[in-house]
Chains A and B, each alone.
Chain A
Amino acid sequence: MQAQVKSFLNGLRIFQQSLCFAAFLGMAGCLMYDVLKREITGSGAFGAPQVGVIGMIVVSYIGVGLASASGSHYRPRFADTVFPQKYHDLLDRIGEFGFALFCAFMAYVAAMVTLESVELNDVSPVLRWPIWPVQSTIAVGFGMVAVQHFLYGVFMELRPKPSGEGAELANEKQADEIVHGHDDYDRERAAKAKGQTS
């Protein structure tokens, strides 16, 4: 069972990262195109910043799941030592269920707001596109995170190691990757070049 849940969580993470990657490229691409077009033709691309904002909203709310998968949510830790060590596992488990509950509630309220937008036919002021598909990413993003943390609460071994240092570093291993990443990059490149020569 745990192996199946693990592969489900892995699949979810890959799905979230792929979605974020596509939205991020869309966002950055729109803004770059806007600036380049303005430089070349003298006028920017119509609606490009607004499309960029849509990309950012998708990245932000789907990215909540990536932050969960790498234990990167910001959490005040100064109260962690108030209870004795023997209660820490229990507190961690309650913490996971608590976060899952909060995210489920958030997803529910966001879904209500999205449905209201559908009923009212709300459109974006510049692009004149319906806003509900983008608004729904808040509900979908928090909904996925609720499932993730519920599963972490049930299968504590699958929880990511909390980073403690915010988002940039998920853990010590990631720190290593960042510090030595460039070397690896060059090594990979050199190995490829060698392979081609031989």
Chain B
Amino acid sequence: MTAVAGVALPIVLVGLLFLRQNIVVLLGVGTFAAYYFWGGGEIMNVVYDMWDASNREVLLSVPLYILAGSIMSQGSIAERLINLMKALMKPIPGGLALSSLMACGIFAAISGSSIVTLLAVGSIMYPALIKAGYDRKFAIGMLCAGGTLGIIIPPSIPLILYGIMTQASIADLFVAGIGPGLTLLGAFMLYSLMLNWQRDRGGWWSLREIWGALKESVWSLLTPFVILGGIYSGYFTPTESAAVAVLTAILVEILAHKHGFMHLVRGNLGEFGHTCNDMGKLIWRVVGETSTMMGSLFPILAVALSLNVFMTYQQIPNQIVEWLTGYIDSKVMFLILVNLLLLVVGCFLDSGSAILILSPLLPPMAQTYGIDLVHFGIIMNVNLEIGYLTPPMGINLIVAMGAFKEEFLTIVKGVLPFIFIMLAVLWVISIYPPLSLFMIK
């Protein structure tokens, strides 16, 4: 019976794929079948595992980071940060492109999502770049690539998911993301500088302009310091930091950017009420979007964790590791194969789903080749980050197509040079662990 099920299950799953079933169904059918045929028929264990998976404090950080990022991008924090970057990069050739990348880097340190970063910066900078005469392909490719920094520069939702699946310290994963994130940002900026070196400068620095932009954005700049400083100093856990991020975003928007504090001081309660009302509408909208995202991600997470429990109980990862080590005899060969596998997977799956599906299998193998669990998490994340830019399922490509009304082919051509840059940086990250681990005690 179990042998027949072993043959039939993959066929059923392929059939479900053709019948346009969601990932949660594919994973769910696989998990129920595993418990039914090989787990003593205890299918209720799937729901018990899902309950245990959902009932974890560390997961609280995911919706809160998404919410904080959405409030900041749909409020005015992102815009103010961009204005400051523009003022600072003005005298450099191609300064507008550099300021876009810098803004992506800073916004990535607030938001844990690639799409939120792309939309927050891109919606403001793309029209500005086109107006300034930048090549469309370059501009959109750069913004799509810059958006991916959202999931490598901490806080990062895929890193949180990896930490949950592998029991790696999320704070360590966040710290390990800084080096690779800044290296990628530096590589993008260098390429942009080389490409736009002949472009006219935007004039010299204006202290008045910089001071004005700084004054406008001082509260926005405070946000990444509060979030990251709190985590790195050990003052906040990642979950507490996420709550602080939401609180900071709401307070900065209401009290500073919408002048709520001044309204309160002057006793203008009517105007303060309007400000709060507007903020309430914004929160209603972004909470709806965040709940939608939770509804699509969390069932997958819960079912994947149930499958993880089953596989660990049956010692399946250990058996795969033993089998594969007979064929792959070196760490470099393993890294090459894993990177190729993840690049292909990244073309078809989003990073969250890929991490949830592959985390029970790949990290134990990596550890047998002497690769640090945290370092491997960064390799996986950067790899899947590239998947945001590769067709057919490159999420940033599809978002950019919808949001900036550009042809899919134009966007694909635009991101190609950035994919090559990311591949080069990925290889450096893979073979040079200190780039990721240098700050970890």
Contact = CB atoms under 8 A, between A and B. Distances in A.
B329 interface: no
B206 interface: no
Interface stretch (B44-52, B172-180, B416-424): B44-52
Contacts of B104: none
Contacts of B282: 185
Interface of A: 17, 20-21, 24-25, 27-28, 31-32, 34-36, 49-50, 52-53, 56-57, 59-68, 70, 72-80, 82-83, 91-92, 94-95, 98-99, 102, 105-106, 109-110, 112-113, 116, 135, 138, 164-172, 175-176, 178-182, 185, 188-189, 192
B116 A168 contact: yes
B392 A77 contact: yes
Nearest to B18: A79
Interface stretch (B132-140, B310-318, B331-339, B393-401): B393-401
A125 B300 CA distance: 26
Contacts, number: 236
Given A28-B67, A72-B292, A165-B398, A109 B287 contact: no
B124 to A, nearest CB: 9
A67 B292 contact: yes
A113 B51 CA distance: 10
A19 to B, nearest CB: 9
Nearest to A73: B22
A66 B47 CA distance: 21
Given A24-B290, A99-B22, A109 B298 contact: no
Interface of B: 16-26, 28-29, 32, 43-44, 46-48, 50-51, 54-57, 59-60, 63-64, 67, 73-76, 79, 113, 115-116, 119, 122-123, 236, 239-240, 242-244, 246-247, 274, 278, 282, 284-285, 287-300, 302, 348-350, 352-353, 392-393, 395, 398-399, 402-404
B20 A95 contact: yes
Looking at chain A's contact residues, is the secondary structure mostly helix, strand, loop, or mixed?
A: helix
Nearest to A19: B291
Nearest to A82: B18
Given A79-B17, A138-B47, A169 B115 contact: yes
Given A60-B294, A102-B29, A178-B119, A32 B60 contact: no
A34 B243 contact: yes
A112 B46 CA distance: 12
B264 to A, nearest CB: 18
Contacts of A76: 17, 23, 26, 348-349, 393
